[in-house]
Structure 1
Amino acid sequence: MKKNIILFLLFISVLILSGCEIGSTDSFAKPHNQNNQKKKAEPFEVASIQFNPILNEREKNITELLKITEEALTKGAKLVVAPEMSTTGYDYANREAIRPFVDTIPGKTTDAFVKLAKKYDAYIVFGMAEVENETGMYYNSAALVGPEGYIGKYRKTQMWETEMHWAAWGDLGVPVFDTKIGKIAINICMDSAYYETARLAGIKGADILAFPTNSSAQTISALPARAQQNGMYIISANRSNTENGFHMVGGSAIWSPEGKKLAEASVVMNESQDVDEPTITYATIDPQLFDNKNKEGLKNRRPELYKEIVHYVAPWDYTKNTTSHEVVAAALQYEPIIGDKEKNKEKIIKLVKEAKKQNNDLNLVVLPELSLTGPVDGKRKKEIEALAEDTQGETARFIADIAKEYRVSIVYGFIEKENKSLYNSAQLVSSSGETIGKYQKTHLNKFDKKWAEAGSTLPVFESKELGRIGVLLGEDAQYPEASGVLAVKRADIIAIPSAWHGEFGGAMEINKELSVNEYPEGSMVTWDAVAIGAQAYTVIANYIGTDRDYQGRSSLYTLDPLYGLDQPVVASEDEEEALVVKFNTLQSDAWFNQEQLILSRRTPNFVPLVEE
């Protein structure tokens, strides 16, 4: 008897190790399948449908959308995304106007798409106007259906003015739906102007963000940054025609987790180019890339620092600056001589003189990270300690002298020694040589962590000459919450001393036609996202040189090149130079500015971003 029991247990063990099912239970089979799902998952096709519904023609729109969706499914697409409000059209004046065209989710409309999803073993996301029967409230929503049937919905978090006249604010957060092809989340149009909505999907592990939109440029231009920041694929579906005077520019696209453009539909920048017929854009998604360095970077977020992003300091905020300042800034770009403060001083003096010659009204200078020592990645801790200083040390005295001589405020970086700890720090010095404030880098890279402690605050400094200035260092720019905090604290300018060599971010790949003032060659997505996301002029100073292939491109990023307010400026990749730029800090008359950003943020939804 004992021998039989032993043989039976051995048999069971073999079955478990081989992943076989016992009877009809899933207790052994499911974990095995889940563990190997990612290894076995094959690339699959996705489709974005650039579809143009007819206003007030819901039944006709649904029929046509089903037809074009089926076309994409017959060609092998396993996920199809259609635009915002794709069953009704977009422009409704009030609740009465849209009342005949709303539907529940789930309901009649989703039932029709479920049939297609089951037939082709695929998933479909489409935008529609939702009514909640229990409350009678309407929402600008999107539904997800699949082979399983109706899966879930998303209600738009950040609405644009038009739908505010009939729709309630989304109240579901940003759910992430676990499907056979990956974890799918949804954002809608104006959501992407606020980094928080995509970030809510990112922290829940979304692999794919479906993005129904009716965009005139702003929201689709933000998508490569949202893809990079969260390490997820994004499938956007836009319209390509004009409705009641509102022109939507097409450009439906699929973006990789690195912010690379995989495919894009045609861009139509004015009504004369309208394309009423639907366009299907295909691309391949590789599940092997669901795990990637950008998604891995989410583990380095520091929610304890981001509490201010859930503050709603509006409509009254007596701390904000109300006086615009004319700024002439120079970003100094040079090749660092590692550890040689004297030689780096010579480079800085030379470039400050050059900047002053370019414009005698120069009033702000931004230097690269660890300005006098250069990055110290290859040095031992004792060597780094020998280069460290307190806040009134050799570097501080040198910078103060330069500031006074040339009548400029300066942001510079240094190795700070505070008590027994070392920090990668930056200070802001006024034109009179006085230190206005200090910032200690809060998001350390792998080299910083070998010698530096992380800072614990994201301050904004008050300058009588320039307004309110926030400082980030290097990798801090990867974390939109950091610049988001500076926006809530009403920074007019963000200075970023950097030592960037391509380890994050990447080239701007939005369609050049989307921006009235074209982005210069060499524009970098991450830095642009800081400026637009915080609505603060952002000055970056970076190194050049072959030591670690520093990539230069010191720059000014601005509030709104898309609609022609201003234009970014980017330095070379490999020349020592002083990049001199001009701007006025406040743009109170612009259609979108920091004031509008702060007033429109739906902060109760952002609480998960600050939970530790």
Structure 2
Amino acid sequence: MEDSTMTFKAAAVQFNPQLNERDQNIEGLLEVVIEAAKQDAKLIVTPEMATTGYYYANRDAIAPFVDTIPGYTTKKFEEVAKKYDIYIVIGMPEVDPETELYYNAAALVGPEGYIGKYRKTHQWETEEHWAAWGDLGVPVYDTKIGKIAMNICMDSAYFESARLAAVNGADILAFPTNSSAQAIAALQARAIQNGLYIVSANRSNTENGFHMIGASAIWSPEGKKLAEAAFVPSPNEDIHESTIIYGEIDRMQYNNQGKKRLKERRPELYKDLMLYIAPWDYSKNNDSHDITAAVIQYEPVIGNKDENLDKISTLLQKSLQEGKQKGKAVQLVVLPELSATGPIKELDTIKNAAEDLDGTTVKFFEKIAKENHLHIVFGMIEKEGDKLYNSAVLVGPKGEVIGSYRQAHLNETDKTWATPGNALKVFSTDIGKIGVMIGYDAAFPEVAGIMAVRRADIIAMPARWNGIFDREIEMNPNISANKYPAGAMSLWDSVAMSAQAYTIVSNLIGTDSNYFGQSGLYTLDPLYGLDQPLAARKNQEDLLLMDIKTLQNDWWFNQQRLIESRRTYFYKPLIQSAK
């Protein structure tokens, strides 16, 4: 029976187990869970491998400490759950009694007893020495406080894990983790993309040289940080004592904008998510490129192509000159969505402004590209027959159209005039493979997933984004070795991280429309110091020059490793139409 209370308290228990001390850990963890229960927490999430510690060299090392689910461990927590009328998620190693395989797992128990489990789908290298790949997909369990799913740690590096929870109907994602940065950095975007509350429980100490940074957090479905534990930057600051953080879950918010966007997904365009093109892929680019790119943001004169193209020409020449002064030749320029017209509201004016790909706007950019030996990505209102499209076009240094993309995911305004495109696009160029997205596409993580499968080195995103479906990054800024700039946006960062492709966003500004700029470069891994994200100023005309070295084949995590570690078998719900 569903609980009628509209709000309840959730708790993330930041507990630090002792390696090889399962029974001692269980007793200690029970004490902390009871403490949270006495503070009226109704959902309590514990860290990954909370009953045993994390680092085990092989199956023999962990064999004395695994348990069945359900079993001895869950029975202990069931008693507490029943007594306090609560739900508990326990991170633990599982043994399957039929196969004797081991799994990195999480169990959910409640007042009614054992409810269900999750086996980690995407594993980090350490676990591969003893744990089999999870084989359950991402089940969702219906409880009286809401529908609960579980992911574990490395899962969050793959957008599919949280997306499966959402598509399967979850309201809350419980997230046990042992994270040094990457796993917890992805969670704000996963909450926004999927309309999920996320309760993340980490550790705050060091085990066998592996340091876990604390910063357990609770996120709202809008990506608002409801609570966050202290960030622990190094082993010198380890916090061995347990920490509990609390956040309020409002069940009225289970029906939110992120959930509603699930109905706007285009599963028919996502079939490539099921492809596993590894370890061989002869279509990928094997050459790293050193590229200087430019982003230009400005306020358009609505509907006045001549003035806007003059402005673009002036700003573009300025960016090239700035590059020369720094000894750099700009090779790629990204402009905002609807570059030449701005966002026109009147349907008749939209129709009059529309052009085909042989029109004056495309010819204008072809000429500039050829004269300056550039690749340029720009946005326009395209017409073909009696149909209109919100399009982005890539022209190349020979003065040719390399390709065009018609926006596949239309916001409510664009649905009044535009026809959705029916293909996601990645184009081959002499500076690498360039994927193209447009503004609202960023709310659909499947697009970034397709870009990764098709091995985009760079993603160019013309945008007119006013933040309505996004938030600035709110995690503790010190978690990232190379700090995010002020104004960095969560979903734009998630595109780059999820695709492992450098992502260049050019956004409009405009006082009437509240388009705020903050265009930027989103990189592969600022968390561990590989590269530096950049952001343009807010509400100001701006130029941004950026240097990119594509591929990063020697880094610990990159697109190749992302592709090789995807678990496509479980992604089928993402490419099936909702029933």
What TM-score do the two structures reach when normalised by structure 2? 0.98
- Whether 1:327 and 2:300 are equivalent positions in the alignment is no
**Secondary structure at the counterpart of residue 359 of structure 1:** helix
Secondary structure in 1 aligned to 2:531? coil
User: Which one of the candidate residues 403, 420, 424 is aligned to 2:390?
Assistant: 424
Instruction: Indicate which of 120, 138, 147 corresponds to 1:156.
Output: 120
Query: What 5-or-longer segments of structure 2 have no aligned partner?
Result: none
Matched, 1:544 2:512: no
Q: Which residue of structure 1 aligns with residue 338 of structure 2?
A: 370
Larger Rg computed on CA atoms: 1
SS at 2:546 equivalent: strand
Please name the residue that 1:595 is paired with: 560
The aligned residue for residue 7 of structure 1 is: none
1:228-260 Cα offsets, whole Å, 9 max, x none, are: 000010000000001101110000010110111
Superposition deviation, residue 41 in structure 1: 3.0
In the aligned structure 2, how far is the partner of 1:189 from the partner of 1:309? Answer: 21
Match of 2:346 in 1: 379
Q: Which residue of 2 aligns with 1:352?
A: 316
- Give how far 1:408 is off: 1.2
Q: Distance in 2 between matches of 1:322 and 1:73?
A: 54
> Residue in 1 aligned with 2:136?
172
After the TM superposition, which residues 431-446 of structure 1 pair with which residues of structure 2 at under 5 Å, given as runs? Answer: 431-446=397-412
Match in the other structure for 1:400: 366
Q: Which residue of 1 aligns with 2:448?
A: 483
1:557-576 mapped onto 2 (5 Å cutoff): 557-576=522-541
Confirm or deny: 8 A CA contact 1:237 1:253 kept in the other structure: yes
Which amino acid counterpart does residue 519 of structure 1 have in structure 2?
Y
Q: Distance in 2 between matches of 1:439 and 1:152?
A: 43
CA–CA distance in 2 between the matches of 1:366 and 1:344?
15
Partner letter of residue 373 of structure 1?
T
Q: Which residue is equivalent to 1:50? A: 14
**Deviation, structure 1 residue 407:** 1.9
Q: Deviations over 1:132-162 (max 9, x none)?
A: 1011110000000000100000000000011
Structure 1 Cα separation of the partners of residues 499 and 42 of structure 2: 36
SS at match of 2:33: helix
Q: 2:153 aligns with which of 189, 214, 217?
A: 189
Residue 307 (structure 1) aligns with: 271
Aligned AA for 1:404? Answer: K
Matched, 1:495 2:460: yes
Measure how far apart 1:405 and its partner are. 2.1
The one-letter amino acid paired with 1:375 is P
Structure 1 unaligned segments of length 5 or more: list them. Answer: 1-29
**Which amino acid in the other structure matches residue 443 of structure 2?**
Q
CA separation in 2, counterparts of 1:52 and 1:271?
13
Matched, 1:136 2:100: yes
Residue 607 of structure 1 is matched in structure 2 by: 572
* CA–CA separation in structure 2 for the residues paired with 1:386 and 1:154: 55
Residue 389 of structure 1 is matched in structure 2 by 355
Partner of 2:380: 414
1:451 has 2:400 as partner = no
SS of the residue corresponding to residue 347 of structure 1 reads helix
- Match of 2:523, as an amino acid? T
Give 2:255's aligned amino acid.
D
Q: Does the 8 A contact of 1:121 with 1:147 survive in 2?
A: yes
Deviation at 1:52, TM superposition (A): 0.5
Q: Distance in 2 between matches of 1:269 and 1:298?
A: 37
SS across alignment from 1:345: helix
Structure 2 letter corresponding to 1:521: A
Aligned residue in 2 for 1:10:
none
Q: How far does residue 98 in structure 1 lie from its aligned partner after superposition?
A: 0.5
SS of the counterpart of 1:539? strand
Out of 420, 428, 436, the position equivalent to 1:462 is 428
Residue 301 (structure 1) shift: 0.5
Decide which of 193, 205, 223 is 2:169's aligned counterpart. Answer: 205
Give RMSD over aligned pairs.
0.9
1:65 maps to what in 2? 29
- Residue 383 of structure 1: how far off its partner (Å): 2.1
> In percent, how many aligned pairs have the same letter?
59
Q: Report the secondary structure of 2:459's partner residue.
A: strand
Classify the secondary structure of the residue corresponding to 2:130. Answer: coil
How far, CA to CA, are the matches of 1:77 and 1:384 in structure 2?
53
**Structure 1: distance between partners of 2:496 and 2:163:** 17
Aligned to 1:263: 227
How many Å apart are 1:347 and its aligned residue? Answer: 1.1
Structure 1 moving runs of 4+ over 6 Å: none
Per-residue CA deviation, residues 174-198 of structure 1 (Å, 9 max, x unaligned), is 0111101011100000000000000
- Specify the code of the residue in structure 1 equivalent to 2:108: L
Q: Is the 8 A contact 1:41 1:288 kept in 2?
A: no
Q: Is the 8 A contact 1:52 1:241 kept in 2?
A: yes
Alpha-carbon distance in 2 for matches of 1:129, 1:578: 51
Query: Using the alignment, how far apart are the partners of 2:32 and 2:411 within structure 1?
Result: 47
Letter in 2 for 1:319: S
What are the Cα deviations for residues 363-387 of structure 1, in whole angstroms up to 9, with x where unaligned? 11111011101112x212x321111
Shift of 1:406: 2.0
Contact 2:303-2:349 within 8 A present in 1 as well: no
Verify the 8 A CA contact 1:333 1:542 in the aligned structure 2.
Answer: yes
Structure 1 residue 538: deviation in Å?
0.4
Residue 414 of structure 1 aligns to a residue in which SS? Answer: strand
